[in-house]
Amino acid sequence: MKLLILILSIVLIATLVGCDRNPLFYRLGSDYFPISSIGSQWEYSINESGSLIVTVIDQTEVGERACYRVLSGADYSYWIDGSGQLEHYEDHRVMFNGYEVPLYQAWVIWLDWPLVSGYTRTDSISTFAVSQGVTISHDWKRISTVLGIETSPDGEWSDCYHIRQYETTVNWIRVSGFNPETTTVSRHIWLAPNVGMVSSSTADSTLTLVEYHPGN
């Protein structure tokens, strides 16, 4: 019995000592979306000609839940990272006859932790709103797939999880003369350990991390 305990102790110590050199333990112990540090800031180049600053501003409450507020350019987004899931507050609206019509506001899971190569997650909603006596239907779906572990496209970051997202939105103003309006976005994202998003690309734009400053 004492010999068994001794062997298990040696294995445990060897495992702990080797964690910093074991890619699996390194990834499991890393934060791939570090939004819980207020003041963290990411600077991205856009298509190698523009720039975007993303900053964790503070903690606030949205949808009756405590969350982190993130400023991206001039837009705010809201995130919760806990209980094995990363959640994003979805705020879907549409313009109709000069008015902004709210269609859907709720917390939706963005990713599940830990990330696993080959994992696919599908989130969808189907709802409607009535504005000025007109019904507006809204259908949305996002399919996220973890494609694998790669180096970032610019070669600067290793052990990145490569994620592909297909996002489809269909808005239909149900009156004569209006046809369903469909928007589809295919997005590729690379998340680096303890840094977060280091690259994102769609058919229209590419974001590449230029500088990262962790917060407190």
Note the pLDDT of residue 12. 44
Q: What is the pLDDT of residues 179-214, one digit of tens each?
A: 899 999 999 999 999 999 999 999 999 999 999 999
State the DSSP string of the chain: -HHHHHHHHHHHHHHHHTGGG-HHHHHHTS-SS--SSTT-EEEEEETTTEEEEEEEEEEEEETTEEEEEEEETTEEEEEEEETTEEEEEEEEEEEETTEEEEEEEEEEEEEESS--TT-EEEEEEEEEEEETTEEEEEEEEEEEEEEEEE--TTS---SEEEEEEEEEEEEEE-STT---EEEEEEEEEEEETTTEEEEEE-SS-EEEEEEEE---
Confidence check: pLDDT of 5 > 50: no
pTM for the full predicted model? 0.85
Which residues are CB-neighbours of 69 under 8 A, at least 6 positions away? 56, 57, 58, 59, 60, 62, 76, 77, 78
Q: What are phi and psi of 5, to 5 degrees?
A: -65, -40
Q: How confident is the model at residue 4 (pLDDT cuts 50, 70, 90)?
A: very low
Tokens, residue 187: 């997005």
Note the pLDDT of residue 48. 77
Tokens, residue 37: 């540090």
Q: What is the pLDDT of residues 19-35, one digit of tens each?
A: 445 666 667 779 999 99
Q: What is the pLDDT of residues 132-141, one digit of tens each?
A: 999 999 999 9
Confidence check: pLDDT of 17 > 80: no
Residues 106 and 171 reside in one and the same domain = yes
Q: What is the pLDDT of residues 151-185, one digit of tens each?
A: 999 999 999 999 999 999 999 988 877 789 999 99
Note the pLDDT of residue 24. 66
Q: Tell me how far apart the alpha carbons of residues 68 and 21 are, in angstroms, rounded to a whole number.
A: 32
Residues 52 and 149 reside in one and the same domain = yes
Confidence check: pLDDT of 148 > 60: yes
Question: 201 with 153: CB under 8 angstroms?
Answer: yes
Residues 183 and 113 reside in one and the same domain = yes
Q: Tell me how far apart the alpha carbons of residues 125 and 157 are, in angstroms, rounded to a whole number.
A: 35
Q: What is the pLDDT of residues 94-114, one digit of tens each?
A: 998 889 999 999 999 999 999
**Region 146-151: what's the mean pLDDT?**
97
Q: What is the pLDDT of residues 36-84, one digit of tens each?
A: 999 999 999 999 789 999 999 999 999 999 999 999 999 999 999 988 9
Number of domains in the chain: 2
Residues 131 and 208 reside in one and the same domain = yes
Residues 15 and 92 reside in one and the same domain = no
Residues 132 and 119 reside in one and the same domain = yes
Question: 150 with 160: CB under 8 angstroms?
Answer: yes
Residues 82 and 172 reside in one and the same domain = yes
Residues 186 and 173 reside in one and the same domain = yes
Confidence check: pLDDT of 14 > 80: no
Amino acid sitting at position 188: H
Note the pLDDT of residue 49. 83
Amino acid sitting at position 117: S
Residues 5 and 100 reside in one and the same domain = no
Residue 21 belongs to domain spanning: 1-30
Note the pLDDT of residue 82. 86
| Exposed/middle/buried for residue 108 (C-beta within 10 Å: 0-12, 13-18, 19+) | middle
